[in-house]
Amino acid sequence: MNLEQLRSFVEVAKFGNFTRAAEELYLAQPSLSRQIAALEQDLGAELFHRARGGSTLTVAGQSLLPLARRMLADADSVRRELAELAGLERGRVRLGATPTLCISLVAEVFSAFHAEHPGIELHLSEQGSRRLLDELGGGELDLALITTSDAVTAERFTVTPLLVEELVVVSSAAAPPVAAGDAIRLVKVAELPQIVFSSTYDLRSTTDAAFRTANLTPEVVLEGAEMDAVLRFVERGLGVAIVPAMVLIDRPGLRSVRLEEPTLTRTITLARPADVAPTAAVDVMQRTIATTATAFAARAGDTMRLAEAAR
């Protein structure tokens, strides 16, 4: 068994197709097939059910897949750690983040990190919190910025809460304010035309739960949009949306008002595998994230205070 065979096995499992996996690995298909056959012979078990429509994992293949991913991740960690001994001139950091954080905090983090360490490769996975934890546990990520806490109780992760962020109601700055004061009750928000996120968003779960608890049915005019689209629709006056205060930064086309009865918040958390020591580059990325999150939260607070003063 060798790393090339394991990498080939993981790619075939990923695509369910030898031809597609060979293209991804820049190998001729016969070479890939020989690697898989040699691996199966070495292990004494077939790893794939081969059929005309594609290849699926056998029971043995399903057992090997998480182990193969972990071995490949460990090998990559060794390479990165040795490269980074030269002063972070080479290496790689794989960060996962939720969509709302990708358009706000992550952009600032990557900008600050790249300015100091331009030789480090940065890889980003934009997914929901639960999917990010799956990738983190499977060795596909070094760090994950998530916004749910109930899914990270397992001992396999080291979890660091970064900040608690307020959720606010945003409307078009070109339209009249949706509230006379600096706050609005959820019952009043339910009466306004709303643009709501895709059901895969953690934010959607939070707001849906708040409306259910209050026995309210919001007036939805558009459903299923991603964060950037939601903000653009709100700017155009299609409706209001409940979003994290952080996304208001550099969005002059939006007007915001705080929620009350109830106040809604989310906790932004940084997670990493508990059983893998962070490389030098990952350790620096963790510090960059913590510092940037603190500064970003202060900017979001300033934005909210300026909006209130304008009213």
Query: Which residue shows structure tokens 């691996």?
Result: 39
115: CB partners within 8 A, 6+ apart: none
pLDDT confidence of residue 150: 46
Residue 55 lies in domain: 3-78
Show the CA angle centred on residue 249, arms to residues 245 and 255, nearest 5°.
Answer: 65
Task: Quote the number of domains for the chain.
Answer: 3
Say whether both 146 and 189 belong to one domain.
no
Output the six-digit token pair for 20. Answer: 């597609």
Residue 56's DSSP bridge partners are 49
Same domain, 56 and 108: no
Instruction: Please write down the long-range contacts of 151-156, taking CB distance under 8 Å and 24 or more positions apart.
Output: 152/269, 152/271, 155/274, 156/273, 156/274, 156/275
**Would you say residue 278 lies in a domain?**
yes
DSSP structure class, residue 240: B
State the Cα–Cα distance between residues 237 and 162, nearest whole angstrom. 33
Kindly report the CATH number assigned to the domain that includes residue 14: 1.10.10.10
Residue 179 falls inside a structural domain? yes
pLDDT digit of tens for each residue in the chain (311 aa)? 788 999 999 999 999 999 999 998 988 999 999 999 999 999 999 999 998 888 999 999 999 999 999 888 888 877 766 665 555 667 789 999 988 888 888 988 999 999 888 888 899 999 888 889 989 988 899 999 998 644 454 568 888 888 888 899 999 999 999 988 889 999 999 999 999 988 878 888 889 999 999 999 999 999 988 888 999 999 999 999 999 888 887 788 999 899 987 888 888 999 999 888 888 889 889 999 998 888 877 765 544 444 444 44
- Determine, yes or no, domain membership for 86: no
In a domain, 299, yes or no: no
Say yes or no: 65 and 133 in one domain. Answer: no
CA distance 170 to 160: 29
Tens of pLDDT, residue by residue over 167-188, are: 999 999 999 999 888 899 999 9
pLDDT tens, position by position, 43-83 = 999 999 998 888 999 999 999 999 999 888 888 877 766 66
Distance between CA atoms of residues 304 and 170, nearest Å: 11
